[in-house]
Amino acid sequence: MATGIRTESEAVGLATRSTRGEVGGWRDQPVLLRLVSIALFAGIWEIAGRIPVSFAFPTFSATFTAFIGLIADGSLPLAYVSTLQPLLLGIVLSAFLGVGLGTLCGLWRTGEWLLIPVFIVLQAAPVAAFIPMVTFVYGIGMTAKTLAVMILALPVIVLNTYKAVRNVNESLVVMCRSFLGTRWQVVTQIVLPDASPVIFAGLRLGVAAGFVGVVLAELLITPTGIGDLITFHRSRADYAEMYATIASIIALSTLTLIVLQWIEVRVFRPETRGA
């Protein structure tokens, strides 16, 4: 009985939400649209593979079969175990260090002069060129891979956070001070929430760059993990397996970004939910 009533009220809630948009109908079915988009992509891939565009370009179905095979024989999970450790460590370190340093530079003039030029140069530089250097100093282990993730992810996180903190709504800061907010409260209650959309944009770019960093490191330096799996299958001309590996890391990267966005909306900007 109670469940019946609940479902009904939920249905009413859904109906009012969908009528709120200007255009009704199929546009209000984002899940369906996304599935159609994915199916369309897979279809075009399949056709391109069957033409074929290149002898080294497998069809979607062959790639998918290879993907199942890679999971079944354990080589893909094993590769991820070795790739995810430096990736996760590097991203988490970059996120905390980056947001911390960026906030510091945004609030403190001396810090801004000391650090921001370094990060502007780092962001402009083709940092992938540093990766062999990192290997030279730190050898071919976790440290080198983690550093590769960080030199790619850190600059964009620091610079976005710094810009967001510098452009914080001054009127809200004054409001917080007038209601007796301490310096710490101004930062945690006003500056960071107000800056959070731009900080998260930086985090998303940073996470994406971190994926680039770890794959580059594995292709260039340490023949382990996903990078090694890609190289290995390429050398054996197992193109379906190679594509499956590449697609899997793209999918994982996308999934991470979606999770990040979900956290942002849930925790920091609830007012943008459903808007």
177's tokens:
């001070």
**Choice from 48, 181, 220, 253 touching other proteins (CB under 8 A):** 181
Closest approach of Cβ 189 to other proteins, in Å? 7
**Choice from 177, 212, 232, 260 touching other proteins (CB under 8 A):** 177
**Choice from 25, 30, 270, 274 touching other proteins (CB under 8 A):** 270
**Choice from 193, 219, 220, 246 touching other proteins (CB under 8 A):** 193
Binding flag, residue 274, other proteins (CB under 8 A): no
Opening angle at CA 133, ends 208 and 85, nearest 5: 45
Binding flag, residue 271, other proteins (CB under 8 A): yes
**How many chain residues touch other proteins (CB under 8 A)?**
21
**Choice from 3, 110, 178, 235 touching other proteins (CB under 8 A):** 178
Binding flag, residue 9, other proteins (CB under 8 A): no
Residue whose CB is less far from other proteins, 110 or 171 = 171
4's tokens:
């019946």
Residue whose CB is less far from other proteins, 111 or 197 = 197
Binding flag, residue 180, other proteins (CB under 8 A): yes
Binding flag, residue 75, other proteins (CB under 8 A): no
Residue whose CB is less far from other proteins, 3 or 171 = 171
Q: Which stretch binds other proteins (CB under 8 A): 23-31, 87-95, 110-118, 178-186?
A: 178-186
Residue whose CB is less far from other proteins, 171 or 235 = 171
Interface map 135-174 toward other proteins (x if CB under 8 A): ------------------------------------xx-x
What is the DSSP track for the chain?
-HHHHHHHHHHHHHHHHHHHSSS-GGGG-HHHHHHHHHHHHHHHHHHHHHTTS-TT---HHHHHHHHHHHHHTTHHHHHHHHHHHHHHHHHHHHHHHHHHHHHHHHH-HHHHHHHHHHHHHHHHS-GGGGHHHHHHHH-SSHHHHHHHHHHHHHHHHHHHHHHHHHT--HHHHHHHHHTT--HHHIIIIIIHHHHHHHHHHHHHHHHHHHHHHHHHHHHHT---HHHHHHHHHHHTT-HHHHHHHHHHHHHHHHHHHHHHHHHIIIII-GGGTT-
Binding flag, residue 175, other proteins (CB under 8 A): yes
Q: How far is CA 172 from the centre of its chain?
A: 30
Binding flag, residue 179, other proteins (CB under 8 A): yes
- Judged by the rule CB under 8 A, the positions of this chain that interact with other proteins are 171-172, 174-182, 185, 189-190, 193-194, 196, 268-271
